[in-house]
Amino acid sequence: MLPSILDGVFNGLSIGSILLIAALGLAIVFGLMGVINMAHGELMMLGAYTTFVVQNGFRRMGEPWLQFYIFFAVIMAFIVAALVGLILERGVIRYLYGRPLETLLATWGVSLMLQQFVRSVNWVLVVGLMVFCLLYFGGLWLVRRRPDFERIRGWAIAILLALSAGIAWAVGSVLAQTYGLAMTKPWFGAQNVDVTAPRWLLGGLPIGNYQLPYTRMFIMVLTVLCVLGIYWFLQRTAWGLRIRSVTQNRNMSACLGIPTRKVDALTFALGSGLAGIAGCAVSLLGSVGPNTGQNYIVNTFMVVVVGGVGKLVGTIVGALTIGILDYVIGTGILALLFAPIQPLTDFFTFFATTSMSKVLVFFLIVVFLQFRPAGLFPQKGRTVDA
Amino acid sequence: MTVQAAAERRGIDWSKRRSLLIEAGIVLAIALFLILIVPALLSGFRLNLMGRFLALAIVALGIDLIWGFTGLLSLGHGIFFTLGGYALAMHLKLQIPPTASSQLPEFMSLYGVTELPWFWKPFYSFPFSALAVMLIPALLAALLGYVIFRNRIRGVYFSILTQAATIIFFNFFNGQQKLFNGTNGLTDFRTIFGVPVNNASTQFAFYVTTIVFLVLAYALCRWLTSGRFGRLLVAIRDDEPRLRFSGYNPTGFKVLVFAVSGALAGISGALFTLQTGIISPNSMNIAFSIEMVIWVAVGGRATLVGAILGTLIVNFAKSLLSEKFPDIWLFFQGGLFLLVVLFLPDGIVGWLRTQGVDLVRKLTGRNRVATYPSLEEDPEVDYERKNLGD
């Protein structure tokens, strides 16, 4: 009895902590820009794949190094996801401010492309992309220095786009022809890949006759560090102050000389980086595939809905509650708890699968929203929509 | 004075009625073209695809109603679509010849069910099933809409709640093997009204039915969006707080329009199921619901023709591209989302109406300088232009 409850709370907490890291980024970005990033799950997936790559790299370096790859992987996952997020913000989202629903669709498109990218990425694709970017942006940079750039802009972009795409495609196919499989073999493919935790994370801390797995404890420690880091960053640094002020009132902050566009880009990169760390944590729990992000994304959104966007604490409470509820209902522990009362047991047994527990949790969320439509800790302000 | 006013009113009515008649004539002509001529042009396979896509166009109309006109981005129309499909599929599954050994749908005996679950029983009757195709999705949409809109939850929140609802229903139907055959869904239909379903002539009847329903759905949407109600929907989209301050309660209108669009999705799902021969929880996955939105976006929001056109274009492109290069389709689809949102926010029809007209003028050399329409119609200005100009 006791071990099963302990197990439920502990596993729920660890799943909740992954949700928390992912939702933190989402909530900060949503609070700041009113934008929901549908590609957030794919950024998690990128973080998980980065962990996989880092692990393989360290495996080549030999034994003592392999034990510590995870620390390096966390940092790399953050950097990779943050860079992709930065490109996403600069390339797409900044053109869509004030149109949150369109942003939703555009980021969904990005998430589809990222999924397919991971499935079919190979050297040909990477080299082709690099050639394309080099030619296109290099060409644009050259053209931009001409005095009559504004006049020929449309034509220049069209010609450059066609030219660089053509050359990149040609280079790609020549590479594929000359080197064959070495170039065209997908790096990861469509099937899942496995990350093995370092040996010192494999065991568990025995409590009575129950073992607390070290991997899950590692994830929780990572979460605590992330939350503390974000708290410190938002409350104690100059850029954190700017982020908070833009969240409160964008126009007023702009008037006071805060570079709101820079703040947006920075915050988006930060949120994406957090998604990358969450992906690194996910990879420790099981195998990861191109669809990994999709499994977490809806729950992450629900955390933002329940927590509200005003305060960090809302996200924390929301994530942990949803994580624990989901796990506790899904594993049927509640049914065991209510064993003496037959109808309740039947009720909870009906929902005691991973998929059915989500049904009940969603129902609870909708009921909760009837009382607190703006979430646990809503932003206070005098808006019509509050 | 009163006579003149009455005549004037009648005159406005006449011009309005004439344009309506013209529109009805065009719609009818296109429908007849689709029924009489297109079958001769397309092979059987392509014709079946065409029928499916026309069925999908009905759900696109529903999405246009709720997103294009009312400004609520629903990512949950897959639910209503699938429920409509299931309602009809359950009726089809109960068409068991009396000589068969078991009077249950075959998957039930597979999972050891001995008695028909109670909620399957009404689906023996076709009228009930036909009603259920529309009413179950409409009622669900009304319920979901009520609990969300009541609290003034809107914008992105509405979208992600409907998206969550989609995954919830997906999980629910996936998990219920005994009731709905789980992941495999309902398939292997034999007869409807005693006629084999897979006959070429039956399939053609389904095709014609689809077109009839599409025309009816178009007429319904046209009627809803043209009058006072349509202006209210646009007002909700453009400035909801202001509408509220003018004394309207938007909740009821939003619930109603969500329910109507859910019912359209249900009809679409039922017709789609008839022509594909299968309905499974797969059509409730998130990707499909968002795909529906992109059909409307490609065609043009808040233009009903655009919704239908977009559905046909995107789906034919999909069937062509995914036949030839299955890998590239996701790249292409993702790119389509980006391109439409960034460069073609009004969709194809919207673009044709604005820039397209200008482009044609430019190409044909009839470049007219745009002025204010009130100036064009002003008799005084007109007089001056005619008599005082060079």
- pLDDT above 50 (res A306): yes
Look at the block and give the residue holding tokens 């191109």: A290
Smallest Cβ–Cβ distance between B163 and the set A115, A298, A384 belongs to A298
Q: Which of A185, A207, A225 is the last residue of a domain?
A: A185
Q: Looking at the structure, tell me whether residues A41 and A165 fall in a common domain.
A: no
As a whole number of angstroms, the distance between CA A10 and CA A259 comes to 43
Q: Which residue has the higher pLDDT, B374 or A130?
A: A130
Smallest Cβ–Cβ distance between B164 and the set A115, A302, A385 belongs to A302
Which pLDDT tens digit goes with each residue over B155-202? 888 998 999 899 889 988 888 777 888 888 888 888 788 788 888 888
Quick one: pLDDT at residue B373? 62
Q: Looking at the structure, tell me whether residues A115 and A239 fall in a common domain.
A: yes
What do you get for the CA distance between the two ends of chain B, in Å?
40
Query: What one-letter code names the amino acid at A322?
Result: I
As a whole number of angstroms, the distance between CA B149 and CA B146 comes to 5
Quick one: pLDDT at residue A386? 40
Q: Which of A166, A185, A204 is the last residue of a domain?
A: A185
To the nearest whole number, what is the mean pLDDT of chain A? 84
Mean pLDDT calculated for residue range A165-190: 81
Q: Please check whether residue B373 lies inside any domain of the structure.
A: no
Mean pLDDT calculated for residue range A51-73: 84
DSSP letter at B22 equals H
Mean pLDDT calculated for residue range B206-235: 91
Confidence of residue B1 (pLDDT cuts 50, 70, 90): very low
Q: How distant is the Cα of B72 from the closest Cα of chain A, in angstroms? A: 9
DSSP letter at B365 equals T
Q: Please check whether residue A115 lies inside any domain of the structure.
A: yes
Full residue range of the structural domain in which residue B284 is found: 52-345
Quick one: pLDDT at residue A384? 47
Are A49 and A251 in contact, with CB atoms under 8 Å apart? no
Determine, for residues B164 and A30 on separate chains, whether the beta-carbon distance falls below 8 Å: no
Which pLDDT tens digit goes with each residue over A337-367? 776 777 777 777 777 777 788 888 888 888 8
- This complex has an ipTM of 0.85
Q: Looking at the structure, tell me whether residues A226 and A314 fall in a common domain.
A: yes
Q: Looking at the structure, tell me whether residues A177 and A232 fall in a common domain.
A: no
- Which chain B residues are closer than 8 Å to A293 by Cβ? none
Q: Looking at the structure, tell me whether residues A134 and A23 fall in a common domain.
A: no
Q: Looking at the structure, tell me whether residues A177 and A309 fall in a common domain.
A: no
As a whole number of angstroms, the distance between CA A241 and CA B312 comes to 50
Q: Please check whether residue A382 lies inside any domain of the structure.
A: no
Quick one: pLDDT at residue A151? 78
Spacing of C-alpha B2 from chain mean position: 44
Query: What one-letter code names the amino acid at B27?
Result: V
Mean pLDDT calculated for residue range A294-315: 85
Residue A311's φ and ψ, nearest 5 degrees, are -130, 150
Which pLDDT tens digit goes with each residue over A142-171? 888 887 777 777 788 888 888 888 888 888
Determine, for residues B167 and A298 on separate chains, whether the beta-carbon distance falls below 8 Å: yes
Which pLDDT tens digit goes with each residue over B247-277? 999 999 999 999 999 999 999 999 999 999 8
Q: E-strand spans in chain B?
A: 186-187, 191-192, 195-196, 278-279
Q: Please check whether residue B318 lies inside any domain of the structure.
A: yes
Residue B158, token pair as written in the block: 């509405």
Handedness of CA A93, A96, A102, A104 (dihedral sign): positive
- pLDDT above 70 (res B390): no
Quick one: pLDDT at residue B372? 62
3-class SS string, chain A: CHHHHHHHHHHHHHHHHHHHHHHHHHHHHHHHHCCCCCCHHHHHHHHHHHHHHHHHHHHHHCHHHHCCHHHHHHHHHHHHHHHHHHHHHHHCHHHHCCCHHHHHHHHHHHHHHHHHHHHHCCHHHHHHHHHHHHHHHHHHHHHHCCCCHHHHHHHHHHHHHHHHHHHHHHHHHHHHHHHCHHHHCCCCCCCCECCCCCHHHCCEEEECCEEEEHHHHHHHHHHHHHHHHHHHHHHHCHHHHHHHHHHHCHHHHHHCCCCHHHHHHHHHHHHHHHHHHHHHHHHHHCCECCCHHHHHHHHHHHHHHHHCCCCHHHHHHHHHHHHHHHHHHHCCHHHHHCCCCHHHHHHHHHCCCHHHHHHHHHHHHHHHHHHCCCCCCCCCCCCCCC
Kindly tell me the burial class for residue B147, based on how many C-beta atoms sit within 10 Å of its own C-beta (0-12, 13-18, 19 or more): middle
Quick one: pLDDT at residue B22? 87
Q: Which of A151, A166, A185 is the last residue of a domain?
A: A185
Q: Looking at the structure, tell me whether residues A179 and A81 fall in a common domain.
A: no
As a whole number of angstroms, the distance between CA A34 and CA A197 comes to 37
Q: Which residue has the higher pLDDT, A68 or A276?
A: A276
Q: Please check whether residue A377 lies inside any domain of the structure.
A: no
Determine, for residues B171 and A358 on separate chains, whether the beta-carbon distance falls below 8 Å: yes
- Which chain B residues are closer than 8 Å to A103 by Cβ? 341
Determine, for residues B163 and A301 on separate chains, whether the beta-carbon distance falls below 8 Å: yes
- pLDDT above 70 (res A17): yes
Q: Looking at the structure, tell me whether residues A237 and A306 fall in a common domain.
A: yes
Q: Please check whether residue A378 lies inside any domain of the structure.
A: no
B302: left (phi over 0), alpha (psi -120 to 50) or beta: left
- pLDDT above 50 (res A55): yes
Q: Looking at the structure, tell me whether residues A127 and A89 fall in a common domain.
A: no
As a whole number of angstroms, the distance between CA A30 and CA B4 comes to 58
Determine, for residues A369 and B151 on separate chains, whether the beta-carbon distance falls below 8 Å: yes
To the nearest whole number, what is the mean pLDDT of chain B? 85
Q: Looking at the structure, tell me whether residues A256 and A143 fall in a common domain.
A: no
Chain B within 8 Å of A157 (Cβ-Cβ)? no
- Which chain B residues are closer than 8 Å to A101 by Cβ? 67, 71, 73, 155-156, 159
- pLDDT above 60 (res B6): no
Mean pLDDT calculated for residue range A357-381: 82
Best interface-test mutation with A: which of B67, B149, B338, B344 has the largest number of A CBs within 10 A? Answer: B338
Least trusted range by pLDDT, from A22-31, A359-368, B128-137, B352-361? B352-361
- Which chain A residues are closer than 8 Å to B236 by Cβ? none
Determine, for residues A104 and B156 on separate chains, whether the beta-carbon distance falls below 8 Å: yes
Chain B within 8 Å of A158 (Cβ-Cβ)? no
Interface contacts (A, B; CB < 8 Å): 119
Quick one: pLDDT at residue A340? 73
Smallest Cβ–Cβ distance between A373 and the set B152, B175, B290 belongs to B152
Are A67 and A200 in contact, with CB atoms under 8 Å apart? yes
Residues of chain A above pLDDT 70, percent: 96
**What would the DSSP string read from start to end of B25-67?**
HHHHHHHHIIIIIHHHHS-HHHHHHHHHHHHHHHHHHHHIIII
* pTM listed for this prediction: 0.86
Query: How many distinct structural domains can be found in chain B?
Result: 1
Least trusted range by pLDDT, from A222-236, A267-281, B101-115, B205-219? B101-115
Q: Looking at the structure, tell me whether residues A342 and A269 fall in a common domain.
A: yes
- Which chain A residues are closer than 8 Å to B152 by Cβ? 373, 385
Least trusted range by pLDDT, from A339-353, A363-377, B78-92, B278-292? A339-353
Full residue range of the structural domain in which residue A235 is found: 2-121+186-371
As a whole number of angstroms, the distance between CA A301 and CA A305 comes to 6
Mean pLDDT calculated for residue range B215-238: 90
Q: Please check whether residue A147 lies inside any domain of the structure.
A: yes
Smallest Cβ–Cβ distance between A96 and the set B148, B168, B341 belongs to B341
- pLDDT above 90 (res A84): yes
Are A47 and A80 in contact, with CB atoms under 8 Å apart? yes
Query: How many distinct structural domains can be found in chain A?
Result: 2
Mean pLDDT calculated for residue range A294-322: 86
Q: Looking at the structure, tell me whether residues A44 and A12 fall in a common domain.
A: yes
Residues of chain B above pLDDT 70, percent: 91
As a whole number of angstroms, the distance between CA A110 and CA B334 comes to 6
Determine, for residues B345 and A34 on separate chains, whether the beta-carbon distance falls below 8 Å: no
Q: Please check whether residue B361 lies inside any domain of the structure.
A: no
Residue of B264, B222, B240 lying closest to B74 (CA atoms):
B264
Q: Please check whether residue A199 lies inside any domain of the structure.
A: yes
Residues of chain B above pLDDT 90, percent: 30
Determine, for residues A109 and B334 on separate chains, whether the beta-carbon distance falls below 8 Å: yes
Confidence of residue B9 (pLDDT cuts 50, 70, 90): low
- Which chain B residues are closer than 8 Å to A90 by Cβ? none
CB count within 10 Å of CB A332 equals 19
Quick one: pLDDT at residue B11? 54
Quick one: pLDDT at residue B374? 64
